[in-house]
């Protein structure tokens, strides 16, 4: 029998370790890795059924120019020439990459280096922009750097876990199992704050179904309550935290329990119970996810949570932290290499010192000196004809971006679109001039970083089929053909890993918070054998933060409306995931077992709304927004608040004629992070 290979799950940011054993030509037997610290052998349904998704049906196995097969040489030469010509004729800002949290850190690193250090633009953004960029902005404002101040072990040590905007039971199931185990062992309390009653609420001590978008009011009210109860950590505030002038005076305005309950549309008794639970439990973790981040006030919502933790001293101690949980397997790895348009490289911004430092390190030919276009703006620029050449890697923006109809029009009009993907046909790749066959999970080799900053290896178990190549190789070959052979002289992922670590070490030189020298000098054999590890298990040494004065910052944030209620659009459309599907279902949709959980896209609505609109369970209804319309089967449930609709994000043109949530969502974004507000689009619904 073949030996099991230790690798990491392809899906969510929990980053579970997997033992994958080859069975026959393309088969894989999957088991949880009992040695991996993220999951200790546990897996959810998506991870368990990964073996059903590694077949070759629907795979892109050869480079394609238009609808014709091409050699790698011809396809890569064409990509390099079109990007070089666009830069020569229209400048570096005329080209863009749109990448993905599915890429491995090594893939991300070379794509970021090519765009920012050699093409000379920062127009590389990632689908992680849609997932957790508001958390990044909130961390930067509060801590002076993008650092997640929590470990999974904090969930074991907490006495109270507050889940805000997170259907953890479905979206991060193994962490949810871990919370339930802690609860069984030591009675941990769980509070869920979410407009919807989700599966996560089933085991909760309290569910607060707050009015959508009222999170800042709720958290400011909690902070005011802590102050009234004498539950602030005055010593920590004095020694470690900067508080804006007049912060406490302005916070007191309208912060009595009844005013907050009205603002959040909650029963005052429920609100009081939550506030009292928080005060009573110094070991509290507040874990938040897309319900907080995917808002046009996402960054303020993140800071409202962090403010409470800073002021009450619930940070930097076991079981006490604000904890942003990421959606994708390698959203954190992308952050670490700087693969967002708003960072330069390795957590560095575009300050003149950082630009000079990275330029020296890369021996950059032409380095970007300012942030590039964030995802929504990037595709707007494509639509306006400002982007002449676009390369999309491992993501499906024609489905997943908001106002996806506009994205499709933009792609159709773009002079040159390259898509590297594992699948032959996606809603995005139908617009590609060149399609490049990329390695899939199980075939590629490199590292990913999970939500607690733990780096793990993804290892190849299966051979590369057809002419498939890893993403890092494809980018490297294009860079060499654009003239930068020496700067992209990588032969294997370990070469890229060592360079990435050396750049991080270089950046970290002044702080010396963690010592990466051993990793920077790692041999190929040591890289192959790498065990899961955290660069910085205790992110705040002596609670000294990365701000100029070493103090964390409380940020004054006020509750604001997400938008006026419009007469023609009386309902609010909220969007999210199903338990057994992943993003646009290009991989998880292949598994027959996963498909059984939800066979079609549903629009969930409250019975009162359904009665008013004369809809019954099982009707087909059209959900209409100013951006578009799509059909769904109606599911009536009092899990939904009156006035709210919920639709899943997964379905595409390849899978069904309805259920296109991306066509409906509006493309408004948070002013700091650029993250779209997927949770609130004005909508209406009618029977078909």
Task: State the nearest-atom distance from the C-beta of 392 to ligand SF4, in Å.
Answer: 23
Q: Which helix (H) or strand (E) holds 574?
A: strand 571-576
The C-alpha atoms of residue 299 and residue 307 are separated, in whole angstroms, by 12
Nearer to ligand SF4, 32 or 658 (CB): 32
Angle between the N-to-C axes of helices 298-311 and 215-228, in degrees from 0 to 180, rounded to the nearest 10: 10
Task: State the nearest-atom distance from the C-beta of 188 to ligand SF4, in Å.
Answer: 19
Place of tokens 């079109």: 82
Q: Give the distance, in angstroms, between the CA of residue 621 and the centroid of all CA atoms in the same chain.
A: 30
Give the range of 11-19, 226-234, 237-245, 407-415 binding ligand SF4 by CB under 6 A.
11-19
Give the range of 5-13, 137-145, 464-472, 614-622 binding ligand SF4 by CB under 6 A.
5-13
Give the range of 7-15, 116-124, 317-325, 659-667 binding ligand SF4 by CB under 6 A.
7-15
The C-alpha atoms of residue 421 and residue 587 are separated, in whole angstroms, by 11
Nearer to ligand SF4, 172 or 380 (CB): 172
Nearer to ligand SF4, 173 or 442 (CB): 173
Task: State the nearest-atom distance from the C-beta of 258 to ligand SF4, in Å.
Answer: 40
Place of tokens 């933790």: 309
The C-alpha atoms of residue 603 and residue 19 are separated, in whole angstroms, by 37
Closest of 57, 83, 114 to residue 490, by C-alpha: 114
Phi, psi of 687 (to 5 degrees): -70, 145
Nearer to ligand SF4, 165 or 677 (CB): 165
Q: Is 16 in the site for ligand SF4 (CB under 6 A)?
A: yes
Both tokens of residue 326? 């990421």
Q: Is 9 in the site for ligand SF4 (CB under 6 A)?
A: yes
Task: State the nearest-atom distance from the C-beta of 494 to ligand SF4, in Å.
Answer: 24
Nearer to ligand SF4, 172 or 388 (CB): 172
Both tokens of residue 428? 């995005």
- For ligand SF4, which residue of 6, 22, 36, 46 counts as binding (CB under 6 A)? 46
Spell out where 9-136 has E strands. Answer: 17-23, 27-32, 64-65, 68-69, 95-99, 124-126
Nearer to ligand SF4, 43 or 668 (CB): 43
Task: State the nearest-atom distance from the C-beta of 333 to ligand SF4, in Å.
Answer: 14
Give the range of 4-12, 278-286, 373-381, 461-469 binding ligand SF4 by CB under 6 A.
4-12
In sequence order, the 6+-apart residues with CB closer than 8 A to the CB of 561 are: 213
Task: State the nearest-atom distance from the C-beta of 599 to ligand SF4, in Å.
Answer: 20
Nearer to ligand SF4, 44 or 562 (CB): 44
Q: Which residues ranging from 264 to 303 are in contact with ligand SF4 (CB under 6 A)? A: none
Nearer to ligand SF4, 312 or 458 (CB): 458
Q: Which helix (H) or strand (E) holds 533?
A: strand 533-534
First and final C-alpha spacing in the chain: 55
- For ligand SF4, which residue of 20, 37, 47, 136 counts as binding (CB under 6 A)? 47
Give the range of 12-20, 498-506, 625-633, 645-653 binding ligand SF4 by CB under 6 A.
12-20
**Contact at 8 Å (CB) between 170 and 290?**
no
- For ligand SF4, which residue of 7, 12, 195, 357 counts as binding (CB under 6 A)? 12
Both tokens of residue 36? 């991996």
**Total of residues contacting ligand SF4 (CB under 6 A):** 14
Q: Which residues ranging from 604 to 643 are in contact with ligand SF4 (CB under 6 A)? A: none
Burial 504-522 (b: 16+ CB within 10 A, else e): bbbbbeeeebbebeebbeb
Nearer to ligand SF4, 47 or 662 (CB): 47
Nearer to ligand SF4, 31 or 613 (CB): 31
Nearer to ligand SF4, 44 or 60 (CB): 44
Nearer to ligand SF4, 30 or 605 (CB): 30
Task: State the nearest-atom distance from the C-beta of 215 to ligand SF4, in Å.
Answer: 25
DSSP string over 439-505: PPTTT--EEEE-TTSEEEEE---SPPPTT-B-HHHHHHHHHHHTT-TTTT---SHHHHHHHHHHHHH
Could you give the C-alpha distances from 446 to 104, 113, 464, in angstroms and in order? 6, 17, 15
Q: Is 43 in the site for ligand SF4 (CB under 6 A)?
A: yes
Closest of 182, 167, 155, 151 to residue 284, by C-alpha: 155
Nearer to ligand SF4, 47 or 51 (CB): 47
Give the range of 10-18, 141-149, 314-322, 425-433 binding ligand SF4 by CB under 6 A.
10-18
Q: Is 15 in the site for ligand SF4 (CB under 6 A)?
A: yes
The C-alpha atoms of residue 592 and residue 603 are separated, in whole angstroms, by 22
Residue sitting closest to ligand SF4 (CB): 47
Both tokens of residue 119? 């093409």
Eight-state DSSP code of residue 3: P
Nearer to ligand SF4, 43 or 182 (CB): 43
Nearer to ligand SF4, 33 or 499 (CB): 33
DSSP, collapsed to helix, strand or coil, labels residue 282 as coil
Nearer to ligand SF4, 176 or 473 (CB): 176
**Contact at 8 Å (CB) between 633 and 602?**
yes
- For ligand SF4, which residue of 7, 11, 155, 400 counts as binding (CB under 6 A)? 11
Task: State the nearest-atom distance from the C-beta of 97 to ligand SF4, in Å.
Answer: 26
Task: State the nearest-atom distance from the C-beta of 531 to ligand SF4, in Å.
Answer: 18
Task: State the nearest-atom distance from the C-beta of 10 to ligand SF4, in Å.
Answer: 7
Task: State the nearest-atom distance from the C-beta of 582 to ligand SF4, in Å.
Answer: 8
Q: Which residues ranging from 147 to 206 are in contact with ligand SF4 (CB under 6 A)? A: 172-174
Burial 231-262 (b: 16+ CB within 10 A, else e): bbbeebbeebbbbeeebeeebeeebebeebbe
Q: Is 358 in the site for ligand SF4 (CB under 6 A)?
A: no
Task: State the nearest-atom distance from the C-beta of 593 to ligand SF4, in Å.
Answer: 14
Place of tokens 């057809």: 466
Give the range of 41-49, 287-295, 421-429, 433-441 binding ligand SF4 by CB under 6 A.
41-49
Eight-state DSSP code of residue 146: -
Both tokens of residue 75? 């396809």
Number of H helices, E strands in the chain: 26, 26
Residues at the interface with ligand SF4 (CB under 6 A): 9, 11-12, 14-16, 39, 43-44, 46-47, 172-174
């Amino acid at each position: 029998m073949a030996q099991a290979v230790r690798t990491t799950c392809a899906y969510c940011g929990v980053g579970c370790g997997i033992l994958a054993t080859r069975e026959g030509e393309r088969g894989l037997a999957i088991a949880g890795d009992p040695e991996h610290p993220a999951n200790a052998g546990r897996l959810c349904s998506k991870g368990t059924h990964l073996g059903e998704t590694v077949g070759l049906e629907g795979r892109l196995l050869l480079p394609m120019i238009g609808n014709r097969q091409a050699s790698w040489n011809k396809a890569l030469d064409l990509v390099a020439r079109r990007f070089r010509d666009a830069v020569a004729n229209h400048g570096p800002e005329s080209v863009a990459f749109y990448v993905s949290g599915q890429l491995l850190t090594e893939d991300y690193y070379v794509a970021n280096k090519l765009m920012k250090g050699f093409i000379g633009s920062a127009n590389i953004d990632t689908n992680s922009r849609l997932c957790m960029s508001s958390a990044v902005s909130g961390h930067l404002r509060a801590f002076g750097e993008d650092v997640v101040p929590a470990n999974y072990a904090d969930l074991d040590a907490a006495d109270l876990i507050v889940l805000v905007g997170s259907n953890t039971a479905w979206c991060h199931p193994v962490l949810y199992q871990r919370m339930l185990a802690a609860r069984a062992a030591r009675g941990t309390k769980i509070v869920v704050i979410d407009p919807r009653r989700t599966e996560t609420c089933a085991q909760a001590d309290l569910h607060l179904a707050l009015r959508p978008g009222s999170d800042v009011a709720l958290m400011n009210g909690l902070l005011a309550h802590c102050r009234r109860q004498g539950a602030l950590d005055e010593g920590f505030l004095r020694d470690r935290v900067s508080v804006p002038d007049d912060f406490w005076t302005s916070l007191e305005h309208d912060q009595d329990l009844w005013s907050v309950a009205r603002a959040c549309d909650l029963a005052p008794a429920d609100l009081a119970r939550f506030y009292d639970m928080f005060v009573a439990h110094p070991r509290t973790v507040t874990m938040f996810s897309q319900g907080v981040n995917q808002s046009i006030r996402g960054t303020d919502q993140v800071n409202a949570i962090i403010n409470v933790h800073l002021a009450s001293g619930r940070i930097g101690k076991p079981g006490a932290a604000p904890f942003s949980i990421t959606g994708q397997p390698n959203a954190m790895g992308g952050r670490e290499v700087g693969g967002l348009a708003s960072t330069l490289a390795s957590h560095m911004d575009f300050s003149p010192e950082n630009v000079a430092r990275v330029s020296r390190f890369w021996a950059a030919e032409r380095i970007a000196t300012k942030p590039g276009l964030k995802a929504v703006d990037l595709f707007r620029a494509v639509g306006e004809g400002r982007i002449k050449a676009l390369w999309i890697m491992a993501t499906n923006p024609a489905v997943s971006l908001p106002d996806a109809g506009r994205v499709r029009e933009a792609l159709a009009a773009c002079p040159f679109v390259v898509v590297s993907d594992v699948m032959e046909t996606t809603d995005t790749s139908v617009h590609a001039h060149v399609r490049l066959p990329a390695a899939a999970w199980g075939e590629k080799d490199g590292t990913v970083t999970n939500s607690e900053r733990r780096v793990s290896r993804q290892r190849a178990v299966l051979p590369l089929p057809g002419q498939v190549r890893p993403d890092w190789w494809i980018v490297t070959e294009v860079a060499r053909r654009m003239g930068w052979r020496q700067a992209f002289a990588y032969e294997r992922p370990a070469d890229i890993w060592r360079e990435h670590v050396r750049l991080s070490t270089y950046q970290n030189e002044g702080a010396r918070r963690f010592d990466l020298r051993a990793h920077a000098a790692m041999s190929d054999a040591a890289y192959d054998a790498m065990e899961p590890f955290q660069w910085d298990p205790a992110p705040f040494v002596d609670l000294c933060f990365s701000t100029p004065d070493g103090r964390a910052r409380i940020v004054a944030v006020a509750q604001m409306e997400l938008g006026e209620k419009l007469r023609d659009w009386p309902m609010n459309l909220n969007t999210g995931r199903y338990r057994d599907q992943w993003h646009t279902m290009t991989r998880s949709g292949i598994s027959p077992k996963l498909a059984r959980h939800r066979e079609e896209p549903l629009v969930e609505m409250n019975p009162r709304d359904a009665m008013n609109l004369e809809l019954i369970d099982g009707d087909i209804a059209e959900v209409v927004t100013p951006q578009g319309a799509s059909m769904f089967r109606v599911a009536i449930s009092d899990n939904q608040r009156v006035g709210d609709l919920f639709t899943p994000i997964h379905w595409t043109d390849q899978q069904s004629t309805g259920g296109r949530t991306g066509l409906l969502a509006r493309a408004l974004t948070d002013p700091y992070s650029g993250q779209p507000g997927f949770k609130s689009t004005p909508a209406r619904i009618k029977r078909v």
